[in-house]
Amino acid sequence: MSGNVKKVGLALGSGGWRGLAHIGVIKVLEKNGISIDYITGSSVGALIGGLYAYYGSVDELEKIVENIRYRDMINALSDPRAELGLLKGNKFVAFLEGYLKGAKIEDLKIPFKAATTDILTGETVYLEKGNLATAIRASISIPLVLAPVEIEGRKLV
């Protein structure tokens, strides 16, 4: 078995507020000395995975989640009158940037991909470069509710 190095990839899914359970999984992995080599997330999984890939510490992730005020989160999502959804989501990107400071996916401590779907083709698109906050915002989009994000000519949710 020497020379056979195993890597750990973490796939984090959607589920709204229930997605906060992802933090518990990461905490158990860290506590047991299991390092995460790469992360892919969809929706809230992209949010939790992206923040963890940026900070590289479950303690930092927990601090952020504990200190987010519900009202601030709702405010960040309250950005009405989008063309293809009830809400634009621009304020949410600004909200995330307060934590991510313009981070680029390709510069994260842990390799990360945000899973999205091109609403025009139905194709799954993995965002693995560019602005992290924008990628997370694209992944949390909900058709007709939270407008798609246009990246490289594609409308992503």
Q: Is residue 95 part of a domain?
A: yes
Q: What is the pLDDT of residue 82?
A: 57
The closest alpha carbon to 49, from 119, 136, 125, 107, belongs to: 136
Which among 115, 118, 150, 147 has a CA at the least distance from the CA of 38?
115
Any domain includes 4: no
Which domain, by its residues, includes 124? 9-156
From first to last of its 157 residues, the chain has per-residue pLDDT tens of 456 778 999 999 998 888 889 999 999 999 999 999 999 999 999 999 999 999 999 999 999 988 887 777 777 767 666 566 677 888 889 999 999 999 999 999 999 999 999 999 999 999 999 999 999 999 999 887 888 999 999 999 9
The reply to whether 76 falls in a domain is: yes
Q: Is 79 helix (H, G, I), strand (E, B) or coil?
A: coil
33 lies in a domain?
yes
pLDDT given at position 90? 85
pTM of the predicted model, to two decimals? Answer: 0.86
Let me know if residue 2 belongs to a domain: no
Q: Is residue 82 part of a domain?
A: yes
Domain membership flag for residue 111? yes
Residue 91 CB-density burial (10 A; 0-12 exposed, 13-18 middle, 19+ buried): middle
Q: Identify whether 47 is part of a domain.
A: yes
Q: State the total domains in the chain.
A: 1
* Residue entry with tokens 């158990």: 28
Q: Which amino acid belongs to residue 38?
A: Y
Cα–Cα dist 155/28, whole Å: 36
Q: What is the pLDDT of residue 2?
A: 57
CATH of the domain at 116: 3.40.1090.10
Q: Quick one: pLDDT at residue 73?
A: 72
Alpha-helical runs (H) found in the chain: 21-31, 44-55, 58-67, 70-77, 90-100, 132-139
CA 45 – CA 142 distance, rounded (Å): 14
